[in-house]
Amino acid sequence: MELIDGKKISDQIKEEIAVEVEKLKASGGKTPHLAAILVGNDGGSITYVNNKVLACEKVGFKSTLIRYEDSVTEEELLNKVQEINNDPDIDGLIVQLPLPKHISSDKVTEAVSPQKDVDGFHPVNVGRMVANLPAFLPATPAGILELLKRYEIRTKGKHCVVIGRSHIVGSPVSILMAKSAYPGNCTVTICHSHTHNLKEICLQADIIIAALGKPEFVTADMVKEGAVVIDVGTTRVASSVTKSGFKLKGDVNFEEVAPKCSFITPVPGGVGPMTIASLLLNTLKSAKKEVYA
């Protein structure tokens, strides 16, 4: 069993980006600039957004964090998105999800200019991804593919079972893993809450991508010997041993599943850090006008 070290790979990618940013600046190019909007006081969302902003500083990007109380109106938020769309210094904009119930995430997602949508959530980027056109790919799926690539994991002809069909992970990663590319060329099965015989399907998987948000859902009896297991879960559960009072739990029961795997990602330190690295890569691409000329 080999552990896939997402922390190590994401640090490597950040170093590569920092070198590139230095070169950009030295040649008179612009400093990449990411703007993040955070609504409310959810502990997880605050941590994620703070980590994104800190990562920007680390690689030499500019960053702008805009915070609103839960009570912000949809109109106020849409106006701010428009203002950022029109700001020529800002290359990328993310609106941290979920948003409060009185705000339509669909409306906000569609309001972000596709040219600045470094989360890859806008329907234009989703469509372009499906159509094999240059697009911002969503950060977590892109991070998963990068891990498979950097660990030289073979994917061609393999059966990839994705558990979960969210817009953020399950659905896009299924599309990417089936593409005629590397990583890709998989036979993909998408499982979800209505799937019959989930265990039997998982037992046929060469690669399992667990992205359903249920701690320790994938158990040893669901995993074939030698499988590659990618754990996207990051549920916060109360803990008396950590300073913060909680710890992150993956969707895979690591202890019992790991011994059966050829490769497995831990939680934390697997997919999570890669999400930020991919977001930085998208922002760099945007600053360099590499996706939309």
Binding residues for NADP(+): 164-166, 234
Asked if 170 and 195 count as a contact pair (C-beta separation under 8 A), the reply is: no
Determine the Cα–Cα distance for residues 235 and 213; give it in Å rounded to an integer.
6
96 makes contact with ligand GUN (CB under 6 A): yes
Instruction: Output the smallest distance, CB 37 to ligand GUN, in A.
Output: 9
CB 109 within 8 A of CB 95: yes
Residue positions annotated with a catalytic role: 52, 96, 119
Separation CA 113–CA 118 (nearest Å): 10
| Cα–Cα distance for residue pair 111/143, rounded to 1 Å | 25
Q: What is the DSSP annotation of 53-120?
A: HHHHHHHT-EEEEEEE-TT--HHHHHHHHHHHHT-TT--EEEE-SPPPTTS-HHHHHHHS-GGG-TT-
Which part of the chain contacts ligand GUN (CB under 6 A), choosing from 92-100, 152-160, 221-229, 236-244? Answer: 92-100
Q: Which of residues 127-156 bind ligand GUN (CB under 6 A)?
A: 139-140
Q: Per-residue x/- mask for ligand GUN, residues 220 to 259, rule CB under 6 A?
A: ----------------------------------------
Asked if 119 interacts with ligand GUN (CB under 6 A), we say: yes
Which helix (H) or strand (E) segment holds residue 163: the answer is strand 159-163
Q: Which range, of 7-15, 78-86, 88-96, 124-132, touches ligand GUN by CB under 6 A? A: 88-96
Under rule CB under 6 A, residue 265 binds ligand GUN: no
Q: Which of residues 165-204 bind ligand GUN (CB under 6 A)?
A: 168
Select the residue interacting with ligand GUN from 18, 97, 198, 220 (CB under 6 A).
97
Backbone CA torsion sign across 120, 124, 126, 128: negative
Q: Closer CB to ligand GUN, residue 95 or residue 264?
A: 95
Interface residue list for ligand GUN (CB under 6 A) = 94-97, 119, 139-140, 168, 275
